[in-house]
Chain A
Amino acid sequence: MSDMSDDNDYYSDEDMFDGTQDEDESGDEMELDNFGDDFKVPAKDKKKSYEVDYDSLSQQAVEKLMARDINHICSILGVEVDTASLLLRDQKWNKEKLIEKYMDNPTKVSVDAGATLPETGPPPPAPLRNSTSSSSQSSNRRTTRGSKMLGLGPKTKSPTSSPTISHHVPQSLKRASSKKAEDFFVCQICFNDAPNLQTLALDCDHAFCTECWGDYIVSKIKEESEHSIRCMAEGCALVAPDHFIRDTLLPAPGAPVGDVERESQNIAAWTRFQELIVRHFVGCNRNLKFCPYPSCTNTVSCPSAASKASLASTVPIVSCGARGIGPQDQEISKSQQLGFGLQGKEHRFCFGCPIESDHRPVICAVSKMWLKKCADDSETANWIKSNTKECPICQSTIEKNGGCNHMTCKKCKNEFCWVCMGPWSEHGTAWYSCNRFDEKAGVDARDAQSKSRASLERYLHYYNRWANHEQSAKLSVDLYAKTEKKMEDMQITSALTWIEVQFMKKAVEEVEKCRTTLKWTYSMAYYLAKGNEKELFEDNQRDLEKAVEDLSELLESPIEPDTIPTLRQSVTNKTVYVQKRNEIVLEDTANGFLEGRWKWNVAVDGFDDPEETVL
């Protein structure tokens, strides 16, 4: 495939210094367009300010992208497909860098990538093949040792005669193989010496039996998730090209059926190998991200969120287009008898950070900060610090929740004074008064304690609300089940049809969605600097919260046959209202980011440092 436009891209890119990430955004979009609509998620009618443009790609689509890059390299550098693949993999799929380096020193680049043998250095045991035509002769490499091979001069050389490994091979073995190499071949790995042993070798001619090659490749793929599989000989850096791996793992067409278990294992390894290469390709390309949902193989392309700077103003929540969590999902839904709910849930995740859910309207940096704060329990430590003291003898943490200052440690029975922490015995009969109490120090200590308490209370205010919405969102599974039951009842007790009771399901979905938004607004509010903007934000937040709670209550209320029509009316109205409020929060926050309206009370990447204000 020759592509003029790409060539042009390359030449114009050359002027840029290194072009790592400038990797033509326009070019990428164009590339995606080339696949037609087969791999695309149907586009939404109108893009909202809190949404990003993205495309979902299946594994095959990504493979096509890879093939394009590979073909491009083939046509420019004039190398075989497999060589191009190895070169690109070694250069992290950076075409520009590869071309530049290759033009500079083709031998070094392909030797480093394991695509060709080094020309200098220790002489290989067999005559070298031409470097550019190196791969793709696998068919003639599958040889049968036996009478046929006697005529083949170089093949009779045992791999052990390679200088790179000879000193590691036990003397006795080496003698045996070099003496009798003329007569038969012994695989140096499994020591199999059957006369018709099939062997394989890469261009380095380090021959081993086919079975060992297969086991080796499977072990590398399965246990090390390795896509760059080197020759088995020690110190040999040649990497097995794709066709070699395919031919070794997949049975030749028309070949007799061998060990079924072994063959299915090999086929699984070959599938995994292809997946590993796709993952490597996706991992090296900042415009692409692999769907993090278990056993999902889709990829999302979102060039607008590929740069770090863009993450300061957008929250790139994307969806790979697939639903559910693979085969297990069906079992879950069956066992719980959920008609809807988790089953078929969209694979929604953030393109910009590792959070595997929707964290709109909060940008990645702030969400990350918040989650870290919640996770590392530093606030618990703060609480302990401001509320407890340690026993001077056994260091147990003690909270004084009333009573006098004469403390007796429950654990070690030590008696001490809560005020000065000194032993109680020294206080004599002066109960409730401590003659060692330094007034100044005491005032200071109380001040520090109340300050830390105020900051703690502030945190707890936001955290409790955050956690509350999270908990409610989790409970939505139950709510789904309950609602479904209600929907059934409704169909029985009233004249409503199945389609007419769907408003309940819609309402539950909306509530769950809004709770996710609400949850994250609390993390945002915690970090927002005081001011009008924050007040407006909190007004919007309050309106949404109120609307959501109203609707939630309505959904939980018992159903009376007489009131169903009114209930339906009000639920529908409220759902629409909630939806509106949610949109307002998301939209306003997103616009605020674009306009640079939000100020933080902590330092956030991509923003000015906070002014010196009180929280």
Chain B
Amino acid sequence: MDARLRRVNKEIADCKNDKSSGIRIDLVDESPFHLKGSFPGPQDTPYEGGYFEVDIVIPESYPFQPVKMKFITKIYHPNVSSASGAICLDILKDAWSPVLTLKSTLISLQSLLCSPEPSDPQDAEVAKHYMTSKSSFEDTARYWTQIYAGGPGPKEKSDGKDEVAIAGLERAHVDRFEALGFQRGKVIDALRRLNYRGPNVPKIPDDRVVEELLK
């Protein structure tokens, strides 16, 4: 299917030529059908200053079927799964049009960060957080931007309590591993990396956490 290849090549080239949007598309390996897109977090949002990477897979029947995208960078957003990076966005599903390009889709993702849709969530827990307390949600989103997307601000917060709550962790969990003799900061870091959510989904055994801490 050379039409697909021609189109993808042109899209990549166009994106390279256009420096103003800040959007980048890079090859992951030899194949032009597995790409990595990246864009800066939009201004005046908790994602400002972060740089977000997106995994792009071009299906066989592209551009007549939508491109498959998911976040590589961990992001705290109601329409993005905090565990897998899966994205809930209409143009990636039934509202896709063959006229849309990789770049325009990435721009749409960028604008999704400006205007979350908590009523149609991908990550129910994050959406609940957003609905109940927007400012607390924004704190967490900003913090995740700092630690995962290279956003500005201190990497380690001085106030230990805040740090635990804001990373979506529970004090009891952190205390438990701290009691095993690990540094508090290290524990928080490891639990964050594992997306530790306590005894509910997905269940992560203590051994796994300790293993991470010993790395």
User: A234, B97: Cβ atoms under 8 Å?
Assistant: yes
Residues of B near A603 (CB, < 8 A) are: none
| Nearest chain B CB to A308 CB, angstrom units | 31
| B101–A169 touching, CB < 8 Å | yes
Q: Which residues of chain B have C-beta atoms less than 8 A from A188's C-beta?
A: 99
Q: Which residue of B lies closest to A162 (CB)?
A: B99
Chain A 169-224 interface residues, beta-carbon cutoff 8 Å to B: 169-173, 188-192, 208, 211-212, 215-216, 219-220, 223
A219 and B104 contacting across the interface, CB-CB below 8 Å: no
A232 an interface residue at 8 Å Cβ cutoff?
A: yes
A121 to B6, CA, bound (A): 35
Contact B99 A219 (CB under 8 A): no
Q: How far is the CB of B86 from chain A (nearest CB, A)?
A: 20
For B200, list chain A residues within 8 Å (CB). Answer: none
B18 touching A232, Cβ below 8 Å = no
What is the distance, in angstroms, from B91's C-beta to the closest C-beta of chain A? 8
The interface residues of chain B lying within 8 Å CB-to-CB of A171 are 18, 20-21
Q: Are B99 and A165 in contact (CB under 8 A)?
A: yes
Measured in the bound complex, the distance between the Cα atoms of B7 and A159 in whole Å is 17
B65 near A168: Cβ-Cβ < 8 Å: no
CB neighbors of A among B72-98 (8 A): 91, 97-98
Shortest beta-carbon distance from A327 to chain B in Å = 27
CA distance A220 to B11 in the complex (A): 23
Q: Nearest Cβ in chain B — how far from A168, in angstroms?
A: 4
Query: What is the total number of residues of chain B having a CB less than 8 Å from a CB of chain A?
Result: 25
Q: Are A232 and B97 in contact (CB-based, < 8 A)?
A: yes
Judging by beta carbons under 8 Å apart, are A216 and B64 in contact? yes
Q: What is the bound-complex CA distance between A173 and B64, given in angstroms?
A: 19
Bound CA–CA A219/B98 (angstroms): 11
A233 within 8 A of B: yes
Q: Is A531 an interface residue (CB 8 A)?
A: no
Distance of B9 from chain A, by nearest CB (Å) = 9
B61 near A170 with CB under 8 A, answer: no
- Closest Cβ of chain A to B5, distance in Å, is 10
Residue among A191, A233, A234 making CB contact with B6, cutoff 8 Å: A191
**Are the CB atoms of B101 and A170 closer together than 8 Å?**
yes
> Given A170, A191, A220, which contacts B64 in the complex, CB threshold below 8 Å?
A220
B204 on interface, CB distance cutoff 8 Å: no
**Contacting pair B100 A168 (CB below 8 A):** yes
Q: A189-B63, A215-B64 are in contact. Are A233 and B104 (CB under 8 A)?
A: no
Q: Are B98 and A216 in contact (CB under 8 A)?
A: yes
Q: Is the CB of A232 within 8 A of B14?
A: no
Is A235 on the interface with B (CB-CB < 8 A)?
yes
In the bound complex, residues from chain B placing their C-beta under 8 Å from that of A192 are 3, 6
Q: Kindly state the separation between the CA atoms of A264 and B104 in the bound complex, as whole angstroms.
A: 34
Interface string of B35-73 (1 = CB under 8 A from A): 000000000000000000000000001011100000000
A184 CB to closest chain B CB (Å) equals 16
Bound together, the chains give a CA A148 to CA B21 distance in angstroms of: 38
Residue of A nearest to B91 (CB): A234
**Interfacial chain A residues near B112, Cβ < 8 Å:** none
Q: For residues 1 through 44 of chain B, which have their beta carbon under 8 Å from a beta carbon of chain A? A: 3, 6-7, 10-11, 14-15, 17-18, 20-21
A192 to B2 Cα, complex, angstroms: 11
Q: Residues of B contacting A212 with CB < 8 Å?
A: 3, 64, 98
Question: Which residue from A169, A191, A232 sits with its C-beta under 8 Å from B10?
Answer: A191
Would A169 and B99 be within 8 Å (CB), given that A211-B3, A223-B61, A223-B65 are in contact? yes
Cβ-based interface call for B103 (8 A): yes
Which chain B residue has the least Cβ–Cβ distance from A171?
B18
CB-based nearest B residue for A235 = B97
Residues of A with C-beta under 8 A to B64: 212, 215-216, 219-220
Cα–Cα, bound, A190→B98 (Å): 9
Q: How far is the CA of A190 from the CA of B18 in the complex (A)?
A: 20
Alpha-carbon gap, A149 to B101, bound state (A): 28
| Cα separation A289 to B100 with both chains bound (whole Å) | 39
Q: Does B107 contact A (CB under 8 A)?
A: yes
**Considering the chains assembled together, what is the distance between the CA atoms of A216 and B97 in angstroms?**
10
- Chain A residue at smallest Cβ distance from B9: A191
Once bound together, how far apart are the Cα atoms of A173 and B14, in whole Å? 8
CA distance A220 to B104 in the complex (A): 22
Q: Are B65 and A233 in contact, with the CB atoms below 8 A?
A: no
Identify B99's interface contact among A211, A215, A234, CB under 8 A: A234
Q: Does B108 contact A (CB under 8 A)?
A: yes
Tell me the minimal C-beta distance from A343 to chain B in angstroms: 38
Q: How far is the CA of A165 from the CA of B104 in the complex (A)?
A: 10
Residues of A contacting B99 in the complex (Cβ-Cβ under 8 angstroms): 159, 165, 168-169, 188-189, 232-234
A159 to B98, CA, bound (A): 13
A171 to B107, CA, bound (A): 12
Chain A CB within 10 A, most for which of B7, B20, B98? B98
Nearest CB in chain B: distance from A82 CB, A: 22
Shortest beta-carbon distance, A176 to chain B, in Å?
10
Which residue in chain B gives the minimum CB-CB distance to A214?
A: B64
B66 CB, min distance to chain A CBs, angstroms: 11
Using A170-B15, A219-B61, A223-B65 as known contacts, say yes or no to A190 and B7 having CB atoms under 8 A apart: yes
Which of B15, B21, B64, B101 neighbours the largest number of chain A CB atoms within 10 Å of its CB?
A: B64
Residue of B nearest to A190 (CB): B3
Chain A interface residues toward B at CB < 8 A: 159, 165, 168-173, 188-192, 208, 211-212, 215-216, 219-220, 223, 232-236
6 contacts between A and B (CB under 8 A): A168-B108, A171-B20, A172-B14, A189-B98, A219-B64, A236-B97
Contacts A170-B15, A212-B3 known; list 17 others, CB within 8 Å.
A168-B99, A169-B99, A172-B18, A173-B14, A189-B63, A189-B99, A190-B3, A190-B6, A191-B6, A191-B7, A192-B3, A212-B64, A219-B61, A219-B64, A223-B61, A233-B99, A234-B97
